[in-house]
Structure 1
Amino acid sequence: MNVVSDHGVRRGRKFDQVLDGARKVFLRDGFERASVDDIAREAGVSKATIYAYFPDKQLLFLEVARCECHRQTEEAEAMVEGDVPVRVALTIAAERIVAFQLSDFGQRMYRIVVGEGERFPGLGRQFHDFGPGLIHARLVHHMQSYVAGGALEIDDVDLAADQFAQLCKASIHERLMFGLAETITPDLVHRTVHGAVEMFLARYGTGA
């Protein structure tokens, strides 16, 4: 029996199998060119199985994004459990944000959404809510905890979370978008991560 999730997806025993197949096809072919037939073939299931879980291809695409971002945030949060100093927590978050940017998944999904958003209105907004929006929400949650504990002093935590994410893109995002990935060295990643943390703490840190 399938179980309906809170975002309109039905789950069953072949759910992960379908997601894995869809992930491969979407990253290979993009959103528009990816067909349900190809996804079914890659996943080793019938089209009927896919439609039993996902009423349309867009929801399947968004679920791929949501699951990946959820996995990334869970891994990062597992590393900051307990009484972790704010500098350590921010460094872990920055490293994860940069790693996602540099990943094949992150780059391809970004290009798909930007390149096909005009033909599929609403795709970008929904992708943001299912993916980057999830990461933003977790940043806000943890920053609020550090504000409550006195390690950060922030009036607008929602804005501060956006600012931190943007600092983590400095020197990296545009290079990726213009096909200059080979110029992103480990030293540049290190400087970007630690520069983001230092600047953020210089503005919002209390030294506590």
Structure 2
Amino acid sequence: MRVFLRDGFEGASVDEIAREAGVSKATLYSYFPDKRVMFTEVFSIECQRQASEAETELAQTPPAPEFLTYAARRVIRFALSDFGRSLFRLVVGEVSRFPELARQFYANGPGMLRGKLVARLRELCERGELEITDFDLAVEQFVQLAKAAVHDRVMLNLVEDIRPEEIDKSVEGAVTMFMARYGTKR
């Protein structure tokens, strides 16, 4: 992962990956038939690890505003992390040469997150807290709302870091707007 994040997909050599991992090149090829599979597996495992961590932290789905606040903070935390920043830039940088890598990254990262959010939003609808007809659209809207005030500035290196009060403001705005659109009117 360090080699891919540092050197990019094209720049990462299997020799360097083997050296960093402390194994032979032959050992790597016995597990991964090519660099693309290695890339996909490395980042899929990390995305799955982070998703499992989030699910462990939140075993039960709390009331909608509390869940949405938690989810927005997780989305922002990932986007602001060194790993999240580097991975996003890497995939965007390689997408024109390796579109299948971007598709695999999306399926195993953002796509997996969105699937998990859809399941939780369905649960909140079944409990009568939300009214959603298009879950995929609602999740896309929510994720973009959560990142709206921070993502582009960070990805473009316009700021070194985002202040905690900016994160709070972004999270609160996302939850308020989402609840105004999808919350039940009780």
Q: Into which bin does the TM-score normalised by the smaller protein fall?
A: over 0.9
Where does residue 12 of structure 1 map in the other structure? none
Which structure has more relative contact order (CA 8 Å, sep 6+)? It is 2
**1:149 is matched with which residue?**
127
Deviation at 1:116, TM superposition (A): 1.4
Select the residue among 168, 171, 176 that pairs with 2:154: 176
Specify the code of the residue in structure 2 equivalent to 1:68. Answer: E
Aligned-residue identity in percent: 54
**Number of equivalences:** 186
For the pair 1:91 / 2:69, whether they are aligned, the reply is yes
Question: 2:8 maps to which residue?
Answer: 30
Contact 1:175 1:183 (C-alpha < 8 Å) held by counterparts: no
Alpha-carbon distance between aligned partners in 1 of 2:112 and 2:4, rounded to the nearest angstrom: 21
1:106 corresponds in structure 2 to 84
Q: Secondary structure of 2:40's match? A: helix
Task: Give the structure-2-normalised TM-score.
Answer: 0.94
Tell me the distance in 2 between the aligned counterparts of 1:166 and 1:83. Answer: 21
Gaps of at least 5 residues in structure 1 are 1-22
Q: Give the 4+ runs in structure 1 shifted more than 3 A.
A: none
**Cα distance in 1 between the residues matched to 2:42 and 2:152:** 25
Contact 1:140 1:158 in 2 (8 A): yes
- Is 1:115 the counterpart of 2:128 in the alignment? no
Contact 1:63 1:130 in 2 (8 A): no
Could you say what the CA RMSD is over the residues aligned between the two structures, in angstroms? 1.4
Alignment of 1:1-208 (within 5 A): 23-82=1-60, 84-182=62-160, 184-206=162-184
Deviation for aligned residue 1:83? 5.1
Structure 2 letter corresponding to 1:93: A
2:141 & 2:131 partners in 1: Cα distance? 15
